């Protein structure tokens, strides 16, 4: 189970970002097949490379491993923007979110 998580999560997040494994590999300074090897369970990243992967994806390592968050990059951006709001605006957005979630 655990040995499958990292490759599958990496593929999911990379696909959401809309980038090829080759382009991502080259963008983080690795050989062109690096990400493909991770996703195909032929290799695991070093800790330093894992941090580069997270940085490239625009997420923290915690967000990478949070299985309950399907779109961590968007959530990360949402939270960053929410931190800039005044309390009244933040409460307004929270109300909208609660209304949208109650419709499910």
Per-residue pLDDT reduced to its tens digit, 31-71: 999 999 999 999 999 999 999 999 999 999 999 999 888 89
From residue 57, alpha-carbon distances to 11, 21, 34, 73, 84 in Å are: 11, 12, 15, 7, 22
What span, in angstroms and rounded, lies between the C-alpha atoms of 17 and 40?
Answer: 19
| Confidence check: pLDDT of 77 > 80 | yes
Entry pTM: 0.80
- Helix, strand, coil tally for the chain in percent (to 5): 70, 0, 30
Is residue 13 within 8 A of residue 73, CB to CB? The reply is yes
| Confidence check: pLDDT of 1 > 70 | no
Q: Which tokens hold the place of 41?
A: 């369970």
């Amino acid at each position: 189970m655990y040995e499958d998580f990292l490759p599958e999560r990496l593929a999911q997040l990379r696909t959401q970002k809309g980038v090829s494994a080759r382009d991502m590999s080259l963008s983080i300074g690795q050989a062109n097949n690096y990400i493909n090897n991770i996703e195909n369970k032929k290799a695991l990243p070093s800790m330093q490379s894992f941090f580069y992967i997270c940085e490239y994806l625009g997420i923290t390592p915690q967000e990478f491993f949070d299985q309950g968050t399907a779109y961590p990059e968007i959530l990360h951006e949402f939270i960053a923007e929410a931190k800039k709001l005044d309390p009244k605006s933040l409460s307004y957005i929270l109300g909208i979110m609660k209304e949208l979630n109650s419709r499910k």
